[in-house]
């Protein structure tokens, strides 16, 4: 991270829902947490979080991990043997944003499928399967990402996941859910997390996204799956000690930060409605279902990096998704007034002359 002097302080960070800071209530929960050695099974706070998350996700057991990426990678390590094939959407985080971990760690490879809005159905799984021949790779696991990040926060309908689950299981494949933003889907769809979760053979939640925690994710599945996951947690150096100091924030978030995700969704829709009124600006996904907004700036004649620089000079951050695409993500540190300001700033940047790149 560069700290070039002269860049105004960041006031409104729509770059990601990972940018939240712990609230006083959350910090208090950390201070008050009973602690022990997690590796000995002696941290009562982490045990409580694991049990509560397993129950929430309709699974038998769960394990606390440092990150969502480690949840995905450990799940693939448990499900796959070297040479196995993983089916997921071409936009999936596990495909494009985890350093090819599936290949580097599990020795598995990914077969991305076309998925408009990040979502595919049972038919797509069937089409991706190979004829059963000794020389064909063995398809082993299907990954669904709830919500779909690169699908603009789209929610997988329960019926679609049920369809994918049926197809996958009928063919001997496991279904894994990347639930980085599963609770956003729960709040947006009014479907319980366990109703999504029990269709899956493994599923996880990220606490460092919309739930507002600094660190942490929980991977859930059947008891024997989680026992295997523990072996990998040790191998990869993800086994911690007094991790209750972290899991206390996650328990706090489950109590306090779930229902309020609806506000993030309202703010995302408000932001989308405002920016859609700016000349030349279009929404990549006109229907904003959760907390993510993709903005297409091609018709403004300006590039996305140029617009980002202009916004940053006003203390506002969005993220870069492509040469002509920006992403804005709402979260617990963003109020309605912030998105109004950010939309006005975007209009102002587009009226002004392009910024000359300095780096």
Ligand X SMILES: *Cc1c(COP(=O)(O)O)cnc(C)c1O
Judged by the rule CB under 6 A, the positions of this chain that interact with ligand X are 67-69, 72, 93, 145, 149, 178, 180, 206, 208, 217
Q: Decide whether 88 or 129 has the Cβ nearer to ligand X.
A: 88
Q: How far is the CB of 149 from ligand X (least distance, A)?
A: 4
What are the φ/ψ torsions at residue 149 (nearest 5 degrees)?
-60, -60
Q: Which residue is nearest to ligand X (CB)?
A: 68
Neighbours of 185 (CB within 10 A): 25
Q: Phi/psi of residue 147, each to 5°?
A: -75, 170
> Which DSSP category does 194 fall into?
H
Give the nearest distance from C-beta 145 to ligand X in angstroms.
5
Q: Which is nearer to ligand X, 216 or 310 (CB)?
A: 216
CB of 279 to ligand X, least distance (A): 31
Cβ proximity to ligand X: between 95 and 230 the closer is 95
Question: Distance between CA atoms of 176 and 75, rounded to whole angstroms?
Answer: 8
Pairing of β 217-221 and β 61-65: antiparallel
List C-alpha distances in Å: 75 to 172, 232, 324.
16, 9, 34
User: Burial of 224 by CB count in 10 Å (0-12 exposed, 13-18 middle, 19+ buried)?
Assistant: exposed
Q: With respect to ligand X, which residue has the nearer C-beta, 250 or 343?
A: 250
Report the nearest approach of ligand X to the CB of residue 164 (Å): 16
Name, in order, each residue with C-beta under 8 angstroms of 199's C-beta and a sequence gap of 6 or more: 158, 161, 162, 165, 175
**H or E element at residue 266:** helix 261-276
Cβ neighbours for 52, distance < 8 A, ≥ 6 positions apart: 251, 254
CB of 217 to ligand X, least distance (A): 5
Closest to ligand X by CB, 125 or 211: 211
Question: Do residues 318 and 16 lie in contact, with contact meaning Cβ atoms separated by under 8 Å?
Answer: no
Nearer to ligand X by Cβ, of 145 and 296: the residue is 145
Shortest gap between Cβ of 178 and ligand X (angstroms)?
5
């Amino acid at each position: 991270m560069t700290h070039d002097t002269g860049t105004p302080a960041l006031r409104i960070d729509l770059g990601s829902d990972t940018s939240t800071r712990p609230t006083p209530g959350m910090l208090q929960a950390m201070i008050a947490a009973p602690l022990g050695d997690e590796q000995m099974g002696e941290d009562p706070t982490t045990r409580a979080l694991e049990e509560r998350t397993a129950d929430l996700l309709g699974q038998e057991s769960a394990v606390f991990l440092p990150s969502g990426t480690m949840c995905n990678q450990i799940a693939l390590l448990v499900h796959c043997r070297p040479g196995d094939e993983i089916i997921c959407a071409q936009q999936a985080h596990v495909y494009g944003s985890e350093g090819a971990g599936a290949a580097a760690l599990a020795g598995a490879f990914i077969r991305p499928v076309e998925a408009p809005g990040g979502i595919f159905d049972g038919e797509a799984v069937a089409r991706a399967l190979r004829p059963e021949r000794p020389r064909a790779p063995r398809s082993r696991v299907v990954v669904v990402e709830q919500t779909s990040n690169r699908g603009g926060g789209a929610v997988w309908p329960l019926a679609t996941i049920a369809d994918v689950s049926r197809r996958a299981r009928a063919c001997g494949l496991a279904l894994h859910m990347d639930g980085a933003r599963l609770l956003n889907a729960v709040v947006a769809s009014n479907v319980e997390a366990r109703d999504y979760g029990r269709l899956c053979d493994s599923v996880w939640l990220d606490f460092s996204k919309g739930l507002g925690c600094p660190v942490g994710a929980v991977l859930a599945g059947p008891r024997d799956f989680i026992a295997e996951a523990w072996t990998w947690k040790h191998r990869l150096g993800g086994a911690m000690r007094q991790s209750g100091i972290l899991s206390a924030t996650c328990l706090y978030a489950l109590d306090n930060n779930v229902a309020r995700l609806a506000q993030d969704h309202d703010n995302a829709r408000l932001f989308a409605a405002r920016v859609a009124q700016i000349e030349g600006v279009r929404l990549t996904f006109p229907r904003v279902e959760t907390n993510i907004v993709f903005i297409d700036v091609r018709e403004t004649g300006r590039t996305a990096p140029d617009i980002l620089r202009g916004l940053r000079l006003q203390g506002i951050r969005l993220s870069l998704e492509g040469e002509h695409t920006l992403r804005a993500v709402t979260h617990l540190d963003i109020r309605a007034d912030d998105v109004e300001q950010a939309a006005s700033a975007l209009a102002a940047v587009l009226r002004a002359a392009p910024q000359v790149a300095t780096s």
